[in-house]
Amino acid sequence: MAQHAAPPLPEEPPGQPEVPLAVRAQLLATEHWGLLASRSTAQSEVLTRISVFLTLVSASLLSLALVGQATDFSEQFSVFAILVLAVAVLVGVLTQIRVFSVGMEDLMYVLAMNRLRGAYVEIDPAIARYFLASPHDDRAGSVRTYYFFGGRSDFSQVAGSSMVFITAVESVLLGLLVSTVAGVASAPSSLSVVLGVVGGIGCFAVSMWLGQRTYTSAWKKYRSEFPTPPVDER
């Protein structure tokens, strides 16, 4: 039986022409504007969620005050208080999850825009001195982009964040709920207060631990394209 010759291999396509620098800059700018729009949308959405949650908390506390006066803080009031606080805590947990998620999304957008600045500098190194925000898409670069002047501690950055604010409010609500449930269960007043304080502190500590774990895990998985150079190479 005759053997047939193997068909010739297809010729490799010619090399793609190099994209002009002006086109690259335009594509990068388009991506930059898209990231800015996405970041702004996420921040606006989470601020609305926070406003709704705080409005619910205010309405809940006001309703407790009015119903408490009307019922002379009877047993029926305790049941009503548990229901109201439980709803507030549930909404608070959902809000807290969203705030933490948007915090990580914001870091994601900052790193993405830092990478684009790194590409701008790669196209034209002379423009680097005009950027206050960092062109380096690593942890040091994100810190600089969040605060141009530098020198701000991690504690002030975290303590002043919306995440800690919402977590503090949620912890207080949970503490009130635990204390109220303990009171309905005929626990002594002192024990109810202690349980409420422990519940609130525990909620705050666990939330901070989960947030820190998520933040640390994200950096372990992330790979920078334009890392910040050592001090002696800047």
Write the pLDDT tens digit of every residue in 53-93: 999 999 999 999 999 898 888 888 989 999 999 999 999 99
Res 9: pLDDT: 42
pLDDT tens readout for residues 179-196: 999 999 988 989 999 999
Report d(CA 170, CA 99) in Å as an integer.
Answer: 12
Q: Is the pLDDT of residue 233 over 70?
A: no
Reported as a pLDDT band with limits 50, 70 and 90, residue 18 is confident
Question: What are the residue ranges spanned by the domains of the chain?
Answer: 21-222
pTM metric for this prediction:
0.83
Residue 204 contacts by C-beta under 8 Å, 6 or more apart in sequence?
167, 168, 171
Report d(CA 188, CA 208) in Å as an integer.
Answer: 30
Q: DSSP 3-state assignment of 36?
A: helix
The token pair at 43 is: 């921040």
Res 6: pLDDT: 46
Residue from 95, 145, 115 nearest 227 by CA? 115
Res 171: pLDDT: 97
Reported as a pLDDT band with limits 50, 70 and 90, residue 104 is very high
Average pLDDT estimate for 13-40: 84
Average pLDDT estimate for 169-181: 95
